[in-house]
Structure 1
Amino acid sequence: MGPLEGSNSTLTMEKTALDEKLPQGWHAKDFVTPGHDLSGSRSVMMDSTKILGVQVVLIAAYSLIILLGFIGNSLVIYIIVKYKTMRTVTNFFIANLALADLMVDTLCLPFTLVYTLLDEWKFGAVLCHLVPYAQALSVHVSILTLTVIALDRYRCIVFHLDSRISKRLSFTIIAVMWLAAAVLAGPLAIFREYRYEEIPSINLKMAVCSEKWPSGNNRDATIYSLSMLLLQYVLPLAIICYAYTRIWFKLKNHVSPTSRNESQCRRRKTTKMLVMVVVVFAVCWLPFHIFQLAIDLDLVLIFHEYKLLYTVFHVVAMCSTFVNPLLYGWMNKNYRNGFLMFFRCQNKHMSEFLPTQMLLHRTGPGVTNV
C-alpha cells in the first residue's frame, strides 16, 4: 500500500490536501510517458489502485509482461547472434527491435510498478532522470526500426531494386536510429525534477519525480508531447501503412505464373509477419496516445478513475514489448525452430532444424528473407 494510506481521517485529509497541492498525476507515473507530463489537473481523483484486488492484478500483469518480454526478446537476440544463418539484414533490424523492447522490460517496468503501488519515487535522482528517458528512447528506436524495415522492403519489392544495404551499412543505420532517438528523448531527461514534498502535520516527507519545463507551465510540455505524438506515432505509421499497402498490391496484382515459387511465397509470409508486428504496435499504443492527447487538451478531468485508466492504458501499451517474439514463433518457421531448439537444449547445428533452401535464398544483395 502507498505511504500516504492510513486508517484515520486525519491522514486521509492530509492525503487529499497533498493531492490538491501537487500537480495532479505526480503519483501517476508521469515519468513513464515517452513525451507527456501529467501535471495540470487540480481536482481530486479516485484511486482504485489502492484496492488490494486491483494491486494484485497490476502486479500480475506487469510481472507477466516483464517475464515474457525478457525471455522472448532475449531468445530472439540469442538466436540471431548465435546462428550465422540468421545473421541477415532484416534479422539485425528485428534484433534491434527486440533490444529496445528488452530495455523497457528491464529498465522501466519494474520502477513503474513500484511507483504505481507506493505513490512515491523511491529510487533517487539519477533514476528519476534515467527511467523516463530510457522508455522514450526505446519507443523511438522501435518505431524508427519498423519504419526502416518497411521502407527497405518497399524498395526491394515494389521497385524490384537490389537492396544495397549491406550488413555493415545496417549497423550504421541502427547506430543512427539510436542517436536520433537519443536526441528526441533528451528533453525528458533534462527537464525533470527530483524533489521532496513535506506534510508537516504528520511529519511526512515524500519524494517526487516529475517534469519541470522552462516556461513553468504546461505550454512547453504540450508542445513537446504533441510533437512527439506526430513524430513517434502518426507520421511513422502513415509511412509504414503506405509502404506495406504498395507492397501488398504489388505482390497481389503483379505475380506472373513463373514467379509463383518458394521465393515469392516467403516474401508474402515475411511481409505478413512484419505487418502484424506493426499492427500490434499501433493497436497497443493507440489507447495510451489518445489518453495522453486528452491530457494535453485538459479533457482528462472528466475521468474519475484517472490513475487507474492511465495504468490500464500503460499496461496495454507495454504488451507490445512481448508480443513480437510470439508473432515470430507463430508466423516464421526459422524462429519457431530456433525457439524449439533452445528449449530442447540439443547441441545440433541450425541446419538440422532449418531447411537449407529457406536459409540461403536472397531477395537481393545483403538482404535475406527471415
Structure 2
Amino acid sequence: MAGPQSGSNVTRNFTNQFVQPPWRVAIWSVAYSSVLAVAVFGNLIVIWIILAHKRMRTVTNYFLLNLAFSDASMAAFNTLINFIYATHGEWYFGEVYCKFHNFFPVTAVFASIYSMSAIAVDRYMAIIHPLKPRLSATATKVVIVCIWALAVILAFPLCFYSTTRTMPRRTVCYVAWPRPSEDSFMYHIIVTVLVYMLPLVVMAITYTIVGVVKMMIVVVVTFALCWLPYHVYFIVTGVNKRLNKWKSIQQVYLSVLWLAMSSTMYNPIIYCCLNGRFRAGFKRAFRWCPFIQVSSYDELELRPTRLHPRNQSSMCTLSRIDTSVHGDDPCRSNRKSTKSLQCQVEVKDESTAATKLCLHREPTFATEQLS
C-alpha cells in the first residue's frame, strides 16, 4: 500500500535527494526490524494456537487466523522492503517484485480489516437473529476466500500498472497510471473509503447495537489509529504537491509508514493480554523459557470440553448466543447472552423409569474474563 505512492513521488527526481546520515538509518533500521520480528513471530504463534487446539477452532478465531496470516505476510514481504526503498530512494528488487510490492499491501490490509468486520457482523447476526444458525466452519472458510478475492480485485490495478524505470543514477519502482496525478489520487481515495472508512463505520454501527467485546474493540481501535496518519498523509500530499519537495517529508513518510506497518505486530500482544485462552497458548509456546510456568488451569483452557455421564443417559439440543470472542464457551461471555436449552433426560434405576422433559430459558450475566 505504500509502494505505489512512494515510488511515484521519487520518479520526478533524477538525483537521490533522500540520502540520510548513518545514525538515522540505524535508528530506523532497528524500528522496522522490530516490527518485522514481532509481527511475524507473534502472528505465527497465533496461527499455531488456533490450528493446534480444537477448542480454539471457532468462527471468530478462524477470522482471527485470517487476520494473523495477512498481518504476518505483509510484515514479512513488505515492511523491510518499504523501509529500504523509502530510505535509499532506489529499487533493488526487480520488476516482478515491484508489482508484488505495490499489489500485496492493499490486498493484505483489505483482508485484515474485513476479517474484523466479519467478526462484528457475525456477532450482530447472533444477537439480532438468535434463532438463525451461525456460520459453520465451511461457510466461514467461504467468507474468507471471498474476502481475499475482493482484495485481489481491488489491488489488481496496482499490479497491472506497476513497473520499474532506470534513471541515470538509480532505479525506481512506481505505478505508471495513465493520468499520473489524477488516477493516483483518485485510487487512494477509493482505497481509503473501502479499506478504512467503510469497514470502520460498519463495525462502529454493529458494536454500538449489540455491545462491545473488549478485546475486539482494542484490536479495531489500534488498527484505526495506526493507519489514520498514513491515509491523511497521502490525501494531504495528493492535494498539495509542493509538500513532496519539503526537506523533512522523508522523515514524515518513514514515521507514518512505520506506524502503519506496526499495526501488524500489536494483535498478538493484545490477544495475550486480554484473552485467557490465547494467553495459555502463548505460555505453551514459550514453555521452554525457565521463567514461564504453565499451570494446570492453562492446560484446561485449551483442552476440549467433554461430557461424561455416569448413571444417566441424556439427549440435549442446545441453541445459544455467545457474545464472547470464542463463540463456543458460555464461561467466557463478557456481555448478556441468552440460552435456550431443551433437553430430555431419561433417568434409570433398578425399580423405576421416568422421563423428564424440560424447557429452560434464562438470561445470564457472566463476568468479563478477557483480561
The total of aligned residue pairs comes to: 312
CA drift of 1:142 comes to 0.8
User: Are residues 1:156 and 2:126 paired?
Assistant: yes
Q: Is the 8 A contact 1:329 1:335 kept in 2?
A: yes
Aligned to 2:9: 38
CA drift of 1:218 comes to 1.0
CA drift of 1:350 comes to 9.5
Q: Whole-Å Cα distance in 2 between the matches of residues 211 and 289 of structure 1?
A: 18
CA drift of 1:159 comes to 4.2
Matched AA of 1:368: D
Q: Whole-Å Cα distance in 1 between the matches of residues 305 and 253 of structure 2?
A: 44
Q: Is the 8 A contact 2:102 2:162 kept in 1?
A: no
Report the RMSD for the aligned CA atoms in angstroms. Answer: 3.2
User: Are residues 1:284 and 2:226 paired?
Assistant: yes
Q: Whole-Å Cα distance in 2 between the matches of residues 136 and 359 of structure 1?
A: 43
SS of match in other structure, 2:172 = strand
CA drift of 1:356 comes to 6.3
Q: Is the 8 A contact 1:38 1:295 kept in 2?
A: no
Q: Whole-Å Cα distance in 2 between the matches of residues 97 and 195 of structure 1?
A: 34
CA shift in 2, pair 1:207/1:290, >3 Å: same
For residue 70 of structure 1, the aligned residue among 40, 43, 47 is 40
CA shift in 2, pair 1:347/1:339, >3 Å: closer
Aligned to 1:126: 96
Matched AA of 1:31: G
Aligned to 2:237: 295
Greater strand proportion: 2
CA drift of 1:163 comes to 4.1
In the TM superposition, 1:196-275 aligns within 5 A as 196-198=166-168, 204=169, 206-215=170-179, 217-248=180-211, 271-275=213-217
Structure ranking higher on relative contact order (CA contacts 8 Å, 6+ apart) = 1
SS of match in other structure, 1:164 = coil
SS of match in other structure, 1:154 = helix
Identity of aligned residues (%): 30
CA distances 1:221-275 after superposition (whole Å, capped 9, x unpaired): 1211111111111111111111111122xxxxxxxxxxxxxxxxxxx6xx11011
CA drift of 1:86 comes to 0.8
Aligned to 1:174: 144
CA drift of 1:336 comes to 0.1
CA drift of 1:326 comes to 0.4
For residue 58 of structure 1, the aligned residue among 28, 34, 43 is 28
CA shift in 2, pair 1:309/1:347, >3 Å: closer
Aligned to 2:301: 354
CA shift in 2, pair 1:163/1:313, >3 Å: farther
Aligned to 1:264: none
Larger radius of gyration: 2
Aligned to 1:4: none
SS of match in other structure, 1:368 = coil
CA distances 1:149-186 after superposition (whole Å, capped 9, x unpaired): 11111111244354430000000000000000000011
Q: Is the 8 A contact 1:141 1:178 kept in 2?
A: yes
CA shift in 2, pair 1:141/1:33, >3 Å: farther
Structure 1 window deviating more from structure 2 (87-96 vs 343-352): it is 343-352
SS of match in other structure, 1:322 = helix
Q: TM-score, normalised by structure 1?
A: 0.76
Q: TM-score, normalised by structure 2?
A: 0.76
Aligned to 1:319: 262
Q: Which structure 1 residue ranges, 5 or more long, are not aligned?
A: 1-28, 199-203, 249-267
SS of match in other structure, 1:319 = helix
Q: Whole-Å Cα distance in 2 between the matches of residues 39 and 218 of structure 1?
A: 13
CA drift of 1:349 comes to 9.8
CA drift of 1:37 comes to 4.9
User: Are residues 1:335 and 2:278 paired?
Assistant: yes
Q: Is the 8 A contact 2:163 2:176 kept in 1?
A: yes
Matched AA of 2:32: Y
Structure 1 window deviating more from structure 2 (172-181 vs 130-139): it is 130-139
Q: Is the 8 A contact 2:35 2:262 kept in 1?
A: yes
CA distances 1:11-67 after superposition (whole Å, capped 9, x unpaired): xxxxxxxxxxxxxxxxxx951669x9536988x9974x6022221111011000000
CA shift in 2, pair 1:244/1:39, >3 Å: farther
Matched AA of 1:295: T
Q: Whole-Å Cα distance in 1 between the matches of residues 108 and 297 of structure 2?
A: 30
Q: Whole-Å Cα distance in 2 between the matches of residues 129 and 368 of structure 1?
A: 42
CA shift in 2, pair 1:351/1:343, >3 Å: closer
SS of match in other structure, 2:9 = coil
CA shift in 2, pair 1:165/1:55, >3 Å: same
Q: Which structure 2 residue ranges, 5 or more long, are not aligned?
A: 308-317, 333-371
Greater helix proportion: 1
Structure 1 window deviating more from structure 2 (295-304 vs 345-354): it is 345-354
